[in-house]
Chain A
Amino acid sequence: MITLLSTWTFGLALGFVALGVYVSYKLFSFPDITTDGSFTLGAVVTAVLLSAGVDPALATLGGMGAGALAGSTTGLLHAVLGVEPLLAGILVTTALASVNLVVLGRSNVPLTGLTTLFDRAAAGLGPAIAASGCNSATADEAARMLFALACVATACGLLYLFFRTTLGTAMRAGGDTRSMARALGRDTGTLTIAGLAIANSATALAGGLVAQYQRFADVQMGIGMVVWGMASVFLGAALAGPARLGGALLAAAAGSVAFRLLVATALRAGLDPDWLKAATAIVVLGALVGPRLLARARPAPAVR
């Protein structure tokens, strides 16, 4: 039971990566490699602030802010300096590898003995859940999971509301069709920078939560996160079917949980953990080219 709850918590925390990738890749058609770097950055900044005695909520917000900075840097490289999206992300992520190492001081830092957001959730909700009859360890784990669930649900709600404002709608319009947004007076460069800031603050929040949940931060922990996010978005979309903005955001977060469950099942069935990233990449490749291959196999529809 505890393992299952823990899988859910992890999947929900990583759901923020899925939300970030949904914003950058789906809304802005921007394949944002910065995701890998900003996930680690969020973890590292949160861990360092926590270790310095900062309140866990503020430490987590600090990590998010750092992620927003990383995202806007990538946006700036692309929108102002004209660097291609992939290259802009690679440059920032490469630079972040140094930044993360310098900020953390060494390659990994344990967070033992420090109070995390998850500890607060367990302390606050655990006893109430334990009162319903389960043992206290399970109740604490359930509290952590519920906390992660509440965070992700709140984020989905806030993103949904934001993307329905005039600013958010202009961002979606610019991400969809640049020429349209410009012709209607929107500076698509600024919108892209803001969009990537939002996306990467979500990703950094995931990093900060994961670091607090597993009680350590590691400079390698972000590797492959952009592919993880894509896998979650694709899986969520496949499970939910065609959906508008709100449904698609929920589907992305749910996709992350579903993918985490899938991974846990595969590991239990004997998948060598070393092959996990390769398997994730193959899933994403399949989701990208599968529909195209299927369409090619089908006879072409008659042209009207």
Chain B
Amino acid sequence: MLTLSDATVTFSAPGGPLVRAVDGVTLAIPAGQFVVVVGTNGSGKSTLLGAIAGTVALDGGRIELAGHDITRWSEHRRAALVGRVFQDPRAGTAGSLTVLENIAVAARRGLPAGLGWATSRALREEAAERLGRIVPGLEGRLDQPIGSLSGGQRQIVTLVMATWRRPELLLLDEHTAALDPAAADRVIQATAEIVRARSLTALMVTHSLAQAASLGDRLLLVHRGRIALDLTGPAKRRLTPDTIADRFDRLRRADQLDDAAARTLAATYR
């Protein structure tokens, strides 16, 4: 269970106006729910994800996860509860380490690091089994630097790493945006499988309206730092890429109306 209460993040560009990237968001995500987040560019969806992951500090409000108030927890401390996959496969893996060494680091997520051996025969066998099940052939590449894998394979390994130990929350930050369409499809398939098989609580930001329509149990549309649309159940299942695009259009038109109204008001009271 993830709860955000009146979460606020404010940015100020030097000399520019204050921008509320996340504007008093209150949200409850029950355990086991797969939530898809869409939004316009600059809507604040990535900042929202960063606030949950701990890369962006809140200016106000609270975040609770699995019974812990994690509002003041550092990014690495939150990692004990949160698994993450980044947009860039290079950001979620250490390119010069082997596939197995990367998995070894992931296998200790949330556990202290000490002077025991990082890799073991048991870990190797489990890695071969878990990777080979998703991408046949990958089990034979455990000793190669992870940088030698293709972007799609690397992202699937990142996904396996993020969920190696069961996370209370899986954060996926546009994790297929940097991949070619075929690789993106494979990663999405693997994502859906892993989330379903292990009944994970997941929050996935995406640019793809097709993914937003077909995946998950719930859709959040973020606009100007707020949740403009929150659909679950039958309403979520009825969504198509077109109906989501239509919602975006309506929000944009409303913005234009707001801007026009603001200009008119400003002209009137000058």
Contacts and interface: CB of A to CB of B under 8 A. Distances in A.
A166 B79 contact: no
Interface string B116-154: 111100000000000000000000000000000000000
A182 B84 CA distance: 10
B86 A186 contact: no
Contacts of A168: 118
Contact of A183 (B74, B84, B113): B84
Interface of B: 53, 74-77, 79-80, 83-84, 86, 90-97, 101-102, 104-106, 108-111, 113-119, 161-162
Nearest to B171: A183
Nearest to B164: A184
B161 A166 contact: no
B176 to A, nearest CB: 17
A183 B94 contact: no
A107 interface: no
B118 A164 contact: yes
A177 B105 contact: no
A184 B108 contact: yes
A64 B259 CA distance: 66
A181 interface: yes
Interface residues of A, number: 22
B76 A188 contact: yes
B95 A177 contact: yes
**Which of A162, A170, A172, A184 has most B Cβ within 10 Å?**
A184
Q: Which 9 A-B pairs have the closest CB atoms?
A: A185-B79, A169-B118, A176-B94, A173-B94, A167-B113, A183-B84, A166-B113, A179-B91, A170-B113
B169 to A, nearest CB: 12
A166 B76 contact: no
A229 to B, nearest CB: 19
Contacts of A186: 76, 79, 105, 113
A169 B76 contact: no
Contacts of A180: 91-94, 102, 105
A119 interface: no
Contacts of A182: 75-76, 79
A165 interface: yes
23 contacts: A164-B119, A165-B113, A166-B105, A166-B114, A166-B115, A170-B108, A170-B113, A173-B105, A176-B97, A177-B94, A179-B91, A180-B91, A180-B93, A182-B75, A182-B79, A183-B53, A184-B79, A184-B105, A184-B108, A185-B80, A186-B79, A186-B105, A187-B74
